[in-house]
């Protein structure tokens, strides 16, 4: 029984040691290391509590300031030479970081950052407390080990008159039940101060606000929580070598945008855009979506690298713009568009892959912006609606259209490379003023290419590059604008028009460089009244086919003086047009019949 009284005495002694307090007795402003400022005659030990009183300003003036805890309402200054280690709670009015280091503490107060920076090592910010990086243009601190935020971290102010940066070094985690709030400046940020490290953002911490960045150019971001751009017109950029998203990354407010630039990525969480915002993921390496990507009344872009959305995952948009890029693939049912949406088929893909994208044809605009392997053939029907060639390339294969459900050219242009147009197909270049397209590696046209409309309210230009032959049983039909044209975008090349292909219509210009050759075995015919088809550029013309103007009323074939005719060629027109023709091209060695 004698053991119990001895144990009780030991516990009381231990408790007395734990509760030992060293009280500030110095002036209102003083240095921590001055022994005379303390009730014990020396600064606190690591096992002692420090009572700083009220209304005091105390400077941590050495690298060995310690305490078990701190109480009072003092202002604590931590300059470059200072390190304060507290293995418990700090209760104070404010801690001003001016280049020094704060270690191990739970800070029941505001930590204010300055342009001199400072280091936080294993710090906890409890509910109701704050790490404040809003007080200066360029305020910063760095976390050198885990940071727990149950209160709030404010980075830059809402007025865009200050910005701040929370750096980190080494592999660490930032977690807690609080939030990190970004102000209005795009200079605000969370940035890696080093290379190759991993930052883990733990649930349920929330990173959100207006504008800023999260940079780990050579490291990894592991997100297990919410990163949100939730202020209208805000802008959040994430730059990292590897992104692993197990949480949520979203742009949520009107006009806001999230831009993610990575080497490789894996999403098993959610990437989201909503309410008139944008989210764009740009990669240079491999990526995989096994989670959710979604947009509603917004825009989402996934581009670059090689990536996939396998079965069981989803990429869905509703009344939004979906832009696909990179080398992408997805099974049927993985990419779905509903409502009045726009789908930009970019990157590199096969026509079969494009056909697995699900959308409502009557309310969806489909733009071809990337490079499509058309070996299997593109069939446009009422189920697909028309497709728009918006800077993209179609390689090989056959394009089959039906009525208005066909391929439509745009002012952005695009390329058909070794493509065949089926007999029912119209390649429509009549819908815009200045529509254009480029032909490479030859063309088989069994349908129709329409250049400009019949009223002359639109025009188009069909360019070509590289020596090639155009063949087929169809035609190239020019509308009423003299701006319509077939133009070489090259030099020293030969374009062969094979029979029975027909180039005809009302008004257009056929241009080749002076070093190039047009060899015609087909028919070039100005066959609409009042039209003029002009050839110019000083090129060499070899005609074994028919070049004529057969309109029943005034029409003309115009040949400027610098056209070189190879040998004695035959160009025919209707007898009634001989006078007009001769006035345009009055050279005796041209046979006219």
238-256 average pLDDT score: 97
- Residue 56 phi, psi (nearest 5): -100, 155
CA 289 and chain centroid, separation:
16
pLDDT level of residue 508 (50, 70, 90 thresholds): very high
pLDDT level of residue 551 (50, 70, 90 thresholds): confident
CA 144 and chain centroid, separation:
32
- Quick: pLDDT tens for 70-119: 999 999 999 999 999 999 999 999 999 999 999 999 999 999 999 999 99
pLDDT at residue 558 in the model: 66
Query: Quick one: DSSP state of residue 548?
Result: E
Closest to 388 (Cα-Cα) out of 340, 435, 338, 443: 435
The C-alpha atoms of residue 80 and residue 310 are separated, in whole angstroms, by 52
**Tokens for 520?**
């015609």
pLDDT at residue 91 in the model: 98
Q: What angle do CA 230, 232, 236 make, to 5 degrees?
A: 55
Q: Which residues of 208-226 are buried (b: 16+ CB within 10 A; e: fewer)?
A: bbbbbbbbbeebbbbbbbb
The C-alpha atoms of residue 223 and residue 180 are separated, in whole angstroms, by 14
Tracing tokens 């930052």 back to the chain, one arrives at 199
> In degrees to the nearest 10, what's the CA dihedral of 559, 564, 567, 570?
-10
pTM, two decimals, is 0.90
Q: Looking at the predicted structure, is the pLDDT value of residue 15 above 50?
A: no
Q: What separation in angstroms does the CA of 246 have from each of 156, 224, 227, 406, 476?
A: 27, 5, 11, 41, 54
Could you tell me if 108 and 90 are in contact, meaning their C-beta atoms sit under 8 angstroms apart? Answer: yes
Q: Which residues of 329-364 are buried (b: 16+ CB within 10 A; e: fewer)?
A: bbeeebbbbbeebbbbbbbbbbbebbeebebeeeeb
The C-alpha atoms of residue 326 and residue 370 are separated, in whole angstroms, by 9
Cβ neighbours for 457, distance < 8 A, ≥ 6 positions apart: 433, 481
Could you tell me if 477 and 450 are in contact, meaning their C-beta atoms sit under 8 angstroms apart? Answer: yes
479-494 average pLDDT score: 97
Chain mean pLDDT for the chain: 91
pLDDT at residue 10 in the model: 44
Closest to 227 (Cα-Cα) out of 247, 254, 198, 241: 247
Q: Looking at the predicted structure, is the pLDDT value of residue 567 above 70?
A: no
Beta bridge partners of 21: 49
Mind giving me the DSSP string for 362-396?
A: TT-EEEE-SEEE-TT-EE--TTT--EEESS-EEES
Q: Looking at the predicted structure, is the pLDDT value of residue 340 above 60?
A: yes
- Quick: pLDDT tens for 194-206: 999 999 999 999 9
The C-alpha atoms of residue 429 and residue 203 are separated, in whole angstroms, by 53
- On the CB side of 446, CA atoms within 13 Å amount to 10
Closest to 447 (Cα-Cα) out of 354, 389, 380, 507: 380
- Quick: pLDDT tens for 208-220: 999 999 999 899 9
The C-alpha atoms of residue 138 and residue 164 are separated, in whole angstroms, by 5
Q: What separation in angstroms does the CA of 2 have from each of 5, 7, 8, 15, 294?
A: 6, 9, 10, 21, 72
The C-alpha atoms of residue 347 and residue 309 are separated, in whole angstroms, by 15
By percentage, how much of the chain surpasses pLDDT 70?
A: 90
pLDDT at residue 61 in the model: 97
Cβ neighbours for 575, distance < 8 A, ≥ 6 positions apart: none
Tracing tokens 């349908």 back to the chain, one arrives at 447
The C-alpha atoms of residue 204 and residue 147 are separated, in whole angstroms, by 14
pLDDT at residue 8 in the model: 36
3-state secondary structure (DSSP) of residue 495: strand
Q: What separation in angstroms does the CA of 111 have from each of 95, 107, 144, 169?
A: 5, 8, 16, 19
The C-alpha atoms of residue 64 and residue 528 are separated, in whole angstroms, by 95
56-63 average pLDDT score: 98
pLDDT level of residue 256 (50, 70, 90 thresholds): very high
528-541 average pLDDT score: 91
pLDDT level of residue 585 (50, 70, 90 thresholds): very low
In the chain, the largest separation of any two C-alpha atoms, in whole Å, equals 137
Q: Looking at the predicted structure, is the pLDDT value of residue 553 above 70?
A: no
pLDDT at residue 579 in the model: 31
3-state helix vs strand vs coil in the chain, percent to 5: 5, 55, 40
pLDDT level of residue 147 (50, 70, 90 thresholds): very high
pLDDT level of residue 554 (50, 70, 90 thresholds): low
554-561 average pLDDT score: 60
Q: Looking at the predicted structure, is the pLDDT value of residue 244 above 70?
A: yes
- Quick: pLDDT tens for 391-402: 999 999 999 999
pLDDT at residue 5 in the model: 43
pLDDT at residue 11 in the model: 39
Could you tell me if 228 and 252 are in contact, meaning their C-beta atoms sit under 8 angstroms apart? Answer: yes
335-347 average pLDDT score: 97
Q: Which residues of 510-521 are buried (b: 16+ CB within 10 A; e: fewer)?
A: bbbbeebbbbbb
- Quick: pLDDT tens for 310-334: 999 999 999 999 999 999 999 999 9
């Amino acid at each position: 029984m004698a053991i119990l009284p001895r144990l009780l005495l030991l516990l009381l002694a231990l408790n007395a040691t734990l509760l030992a307090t060293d009280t500030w007795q110095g002036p209102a402003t003083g240095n921590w290391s001055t022994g005379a400022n303390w009730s014990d005659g020396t600064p606190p030990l690591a096992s002692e509590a420090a009572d700083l009183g009220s209304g005091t300003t105390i400077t941590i003036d050495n690298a060995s300031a310690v305490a078990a805890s701190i109480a009072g309402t003092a202002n604590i200054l931590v300059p470059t030479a200072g390190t304060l280690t507290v293995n418990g709670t700090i209760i104070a009015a404010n801690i001003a970081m001016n280049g020094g280091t704060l270690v191990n503490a739970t800070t029941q107060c505001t930590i204010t950052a300055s342009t001199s920076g400072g280091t936080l090592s294993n710090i906890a910010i409890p509910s109701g407390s704050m790490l404040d990086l809003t007080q200066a243009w360029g305020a910063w601190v760095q976390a050198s080990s885990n940071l727990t935020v149950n209160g709030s971290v404010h980075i830059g102010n809402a007025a865009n008159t200050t910005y701040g940066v929370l750096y980190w070094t080494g592999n660490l985690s930032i977690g807690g039940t609080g939030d990190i709030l970004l102000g209005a400046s795009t200079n605000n940020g969370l940035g890696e101060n080093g290379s190759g490290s991993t930052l883990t953002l733990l649930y349920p911490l929330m990173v959100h606000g207006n504008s800023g960045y999260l940079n780990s150019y050579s490291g990894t971001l592991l997100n297990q929580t919410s990163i949100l751009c939730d202020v209208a017109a805000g802008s959040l950029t994430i730059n990292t070598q590897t992104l692993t998203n197990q949480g949520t990354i979203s742009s949520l407010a009107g006009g806001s945008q999230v831009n993610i630039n990575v080497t490789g990525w894996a999403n098993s969480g959610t990437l989201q855009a909503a309410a008139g915002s944008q989210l764009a993921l740009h990669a240079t390496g491999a990526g995989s979506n096994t989670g959710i990507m979604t947009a509603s009344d917004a825009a989402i872009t996934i581009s670059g690298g090689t990536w996939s959305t396998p079965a069981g995952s989803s990429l869905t948009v509703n009344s939004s713009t979906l832009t696909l890029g990179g080398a992408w693939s997805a099974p049927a049912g993985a990419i779905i568009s509903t409502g009045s949406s726009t789908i930009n088929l970019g990157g590199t893909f096969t026509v079969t892959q494009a056909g697995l994208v699900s959308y409502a044809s009557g309310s969806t605009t489909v733009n071809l912006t990337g490079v499509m392997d058309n070996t299997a053939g593109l069939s446009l029907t009422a189920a697909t609606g028309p497709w728009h060639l918006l800077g993209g390339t179609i390689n090989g294969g056959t394009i089959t259209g039906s009525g208005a459900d066909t391929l439509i050219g745009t002012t952005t242009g695009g390329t058909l490379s070794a493509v065949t147009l089926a007999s029912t197909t119209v390649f429509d270049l009549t819908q815009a003023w200045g529509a254009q397209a480029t032909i490479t590696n030859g063309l088989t046209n069994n349908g129709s290419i329409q250049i400009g409309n019949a009223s002359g309210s639109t025009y188009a230009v069909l360019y070509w590059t590289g020596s090639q032959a155009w063949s087929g049983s169809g035609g190239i039909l020019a509308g009423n604008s003299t701006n319509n044209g077939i133009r070489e975008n090259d030099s020293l090349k030969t374009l062969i028009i094979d029979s029975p292909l027909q180039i005809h219509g009302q008004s257009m210009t056929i241009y080749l460089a002076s070093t190039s050759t047009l060899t015609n075995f087909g028919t070039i015919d100005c066959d609409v009244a009042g039209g003029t088809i002009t050839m110019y550029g000083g090129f060499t013309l070899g005609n074994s086919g028919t070049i004529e103007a057969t309109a029943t009323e005034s029409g003309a074939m115009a040949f400027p003086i610098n056209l070189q005719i190879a040998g004695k060629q035959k160009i025919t027109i209707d007898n009634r047009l001989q006078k007009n023709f001769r006035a345009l091209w009055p050279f005796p060695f041209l046979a006219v019949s």
